[in-house]
Structure 1
């Protein structure tokens, strides 16, 4: 009976195409976020991915197409992750729900530090990926928040569009803020956002409801 020969040393087995694509996209996100579209090279991305330049070209064609694919991949991942975390928890009241969603945004940025730089680079390059992401998430948040505002007798109407935009702007600003010295605890920032936004709207509704009426 013949004994099967063991595979000797040599070049490693070629990875499946989908695995190669995942490696390149992950590397591209890192390199584009750090160097920008103009500064990034296929060579840098290939080295980061552990593949050859030729493999990257075969998978994505050129740097422009790879950048668009990396941005689209990140946009979808961000939407799926943040929307899924934010659309559930029907039992949470308004303040608890809002706090959890602020925490979700902070958590996503912490888990994916290249996300905001890459989406901002896309905006500068003429791809409104971050604008699209905000708009898509706003639809999820507006529907979920409207039901919870109703428990307080607040019907924000179109004001909710402005409120959600403000929530995103404040969260993105705090996430990207450079602090003098040691930054504050993340939980403290999440509490600050929650109390400022939810408490602020409730005070507006109770003390100066005409402000919301004018936007509604």
Structure 2
């Protein structure tokens, strides 16, 4: 009867391919965020992942391919997390919905501190992952916000696209402000975004309706 062979002393167990990929991607995301695509090396990634350089090359080919995979991984994770929150809870009123979605973006960056730097590095190197993410999320946000604006008698029309673009630009700037240097108060920033955007559009609609009308 055959028996299982035991490994020799000190011989490491070979991890399943999926587990190796996950370790490499996690290490690569952190290093690309810290050092950029130029500064990070396959050697650095392998060391942080606890694998050999050969394992990384077998999984991803080269550093350029690994960077593309890491960027795609971040983009999909961000889209799934943020889009799911934006399209849910149909019973929330406009301010509560906006507040929760701003909080979601702050929470995502706090939970995944390498995400935004990796996406920003991708943009700098010619991979429009952040631009694409904004565009994909804009579709979700536009559809979800339109119903809530209607409850206030606001029909923004094509202004929706411009408004969502502004939302993302302001949120990314304030998330960066919170993430780097001396962080500002998270809840205060979220309240600021909520009141500035929701209150601002309602004020436009009531006091300068021609501005929105020209964008329809």
Same-fold status (TM-score > 0.5): yes
Match of 2:209 in 1: 209
Name the CA distance, whole Å, in 1 between partners of 2:155 and 2:181.
Answer: 42
Name the CA distance, whole Å, in 2 between partners of 1:4 and 1:64.
Answer: 40
Name the CA distance, whole Å, in 2 between partners of 1:4 and 1:89.
Answer: 53
Match of 1:199 in 2: 199
- Aligned pair 1:19/2:19, yes or no? yes
Offset of residue 25 of structure 1 = 0.4
Offset of residue 112 of structure 1 = 0.6
Name the CA distance, whole Å, in 1 between partners of 2:14 and 2:149.
Answer: 55
Deviation sequence 1:79-107 (CA, Å, 0-9, x none): 00111111100000011000000000000
TM-score by length of 1: 0.94
Offset of residue 17 of structure 1 = 0.2
TM-score by length of 2: 0.94
Aligned residues of 2:178 and 2:184 also touching (Cα < 8 A): no
Offset of residue 33 of structure 1 = 1.1
Gaps of 5+ in 2: none
Match of 1:130 in 2: 130
Deviation sequence 1:109-153 (CA, Å, 0-9, x none): 001111111001000110000000000000000000000000011
Offset of residue 8 of structure 1 = 6.7
Offset of residue 178 of structure 1 = 6.7
Match of 2:156 in 1: 156
Name the CA distance, whole Å, in 1 between partners of 2:43 and 2:132.
Answer: 30
Aligned residues of 2:178 and 2:185 also touching (Cα < 8 A): no
Offset of residue 181 of structure 1 = 8.0
| RMSD, matched Cα | 1.9
Aligned residues of 2:158 and 2:215 also touching (Cα < 8 A): yes
Offset of residue 180 of structure 1 = 10
Offset of residue 184 of structure 1 = 2.7
Match of 1:29 in 2: 29
1:142–1:16 CA distance, 2 compared to 1 (3 A)? same
State the aligned residue count.
214
Gaps of 5+ in 1: none
- Aligned pair 1:90/2:90, yes or no? yes
Name the CA distance, whole Å, in 1 between partners of 2:57 and 2:75.
Answer: 22
